[in-house]
């Protein structure tokens, strides 16, 4: 549904994108991860026909974003980083305006507006000017605005930045609802848990380059920092260190907690058996999967 190949973009002397490729199958969610300046928004701007790239080719919903921009625009919905709602208009008026611009009759536009306001829990605020909306309501109206034309592909640039936890969860639900209805979603985020929970596939961008791509699981496996940690009574720490070393592990001590990188989850059994044989009782024992934070920090070489 989205097919970007070797996309290059420069602004003056600055290379914003140095040959980025992203492929998103229909009906899936793709997460673009990267810190500020990594090129996420530039890529979104190209995918949504705002910039023409200086190199590479991009098709969205089967149409070239440069040659067939008008066709692409009929099939996409975009929610930018900053809410693009008209403050002087009410929630309903905002949505009806867009419906009319997309060619719906007044009646159809009103019906669609009511539907979306309901979906986003804005029915009570429908007839109030957007000026008085809270940050969360404004973002919801913004997202609703991008769905008026029932787009095939939805682009969300940092959809939950600045939202309270409850609104974030609500936004995730909306994304899931969209995808279950067959919509393709591409979202950018700085929140790794967001990409982890929402995205089927992830691309990690750093300085305009793809540094990693795949499913969340694949990325975690690539970094492979799965660890076992054991918390013990103070007197047991020394003996436990020796025991784990004898079991072929390389534990690090931090207070009463020992942490050791392991290859697979089977290592947990090894640790349990070794400690049990040595007569050491652990207060807490666990296997830790690498988080996307680990992936991100390892791949982008950023300092934690």
Is there binding between residue 12 and other proteins (CB under 8 A)? Answer: no
Is there binding between residue 48 and other proteins (CB under 8 A)? Answer: yes
Closest C-alpha among 202, 160, 171, 195 to residue 24: 202
Of the candidate spans 49-57, 255-263, 267-275, 279-287, the one that interacts with other proteins by CB under 8 A turns out to be 49-57
Of the candidate spans 101-109, 206-214, 259-267, 295-303, the one that interacts with other proteins by CB under 8 A turns out to be 101-109
**Which residues make beta-bridge pairs with 10?**
15
Q: How far is the CB of 133 from other proteins (least distance, A)?
A: 14
- Cα separation, 188 vs 143, in Å, equals 14
- Interface with other proteins (CB under 8 A), residue from 92, 146, 201, 243: 146
Nearer to other proteins by Cβ, of 181 and 269: the residue is 181
Closest C-alpha among 198, 205, 192, 163 to residue 42: 205
Nearer to other proteins by Cβ, of 161 and 257: the residue is 161
Q: What is the crossing angle of helices 135-146 and 91-101, to 10°?
A: 20
Closest C-alpha among 303, 272, 300 to residue 286: 272
**Which residues make beta-bridge pairs with 88?**
none
Is there binding between residue 33 and other proteins (CB under 8 A)? Answer: no
Q: How far is the CB of 48 from other proteins (least distance, A)?
A: 5
- Interface with other proteins (CB under 8 A), residue from 19, 27, 170, 239: 27
Judged on CB neighbours under 10 Å (0-12, 13-18, 19+), 302 is exposed
- Cα separation, 215 vs 232, in Å, equals 35
How far CA 128 is from CA of 123, 163, 170, 181, 235, in Å, comes to 10, 21, 21, 30, 65
Is there binding between residue 159 and other proteins (CB under 8 A)? Answer: no
Using CB under 8 A as the binding criterion, the count of chain residues that bind other proteins stands at 49
Which phi and psi angles does 259 have, rounded to 5°? -125, 135
Q: How far is the CB of 33 from other proteins (least distance, A)?
A: 22
- Cα separation, 193 vs 167, in Å, equals 15
> Would you give the binding string for other proteins spanning residues 240-279, x where CB under 8 A is met?
----------------------------------------
Is there binding between residue 182 and other proteins (CB under 8 A)? Answer: yes
Residues that bind other proteins (CB under 8 A): 1, 25-27, 45, 48-51, 61-63, 68, 70-71, 73-78, 80, 82-89, 93, 97-104, 108, 145-146, 149-150, 152, 181-184
């Amino acid at each position: 549904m989205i097919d970007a190949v070797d996309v290059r973009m420069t602004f003056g002397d600055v290379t914003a994108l140095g040959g980025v490729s992203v492929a998103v199958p229909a009906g899936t969610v793709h997460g673009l991860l990267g810190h500020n300046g990594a090129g996420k928004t530039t890529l979104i701007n190209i995918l949504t026909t705002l910039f023409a790239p200086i190199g590479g080719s991009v098709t969205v919903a089967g149409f070239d974003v440069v040659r067939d921009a008008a066709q692409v625009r009929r099939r996409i919905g975009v929610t930018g980083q900053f809410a693009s709602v008209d403050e002087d208009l009410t929630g309903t008026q905002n949505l009806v305006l867009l419906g009319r611009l997309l060619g719906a009759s007044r009646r159809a536009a009103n019906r669609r507006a009511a539907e979306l306001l309901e979906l986003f829990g804005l029915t009570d605020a429908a007839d109030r000017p957007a000026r008085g909306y809270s940050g969360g309501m404004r973002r919801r109206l913004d997202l609703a605005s991008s769905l008026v034309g029932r787009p095939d592909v939805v682009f969300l640039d940092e959809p939950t930045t600045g939202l309270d936890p409850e609104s974030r969860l609500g936004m995730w639900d909306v994304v899931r609802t969209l995808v279950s209805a067959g919509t393709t979603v591409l979202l950018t985020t700085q929140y790794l848990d967001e990409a982890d929970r929402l995205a089927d596939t992830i691309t990690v961008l750093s300085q305009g380059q793809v540094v990693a791509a795949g499913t969340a699981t694949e990325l975690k496996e690539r970094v492979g920092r799965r660890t076992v940690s054991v918390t013990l009574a103070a007197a047991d720490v020394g003996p436990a260190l020796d025991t784990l070393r004898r079991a072929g592990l390389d534990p690090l001590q931090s207070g009463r907690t020992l942490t050791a990188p392991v290859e697979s989850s089977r290592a947990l059994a090894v640790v349990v058996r070794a400690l049990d044989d040595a007569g050491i009782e652990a207060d807490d024992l666990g296997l830790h999967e690498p988080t996307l934070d680990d992936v991100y920090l390892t791949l982008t070489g950023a300092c934690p």
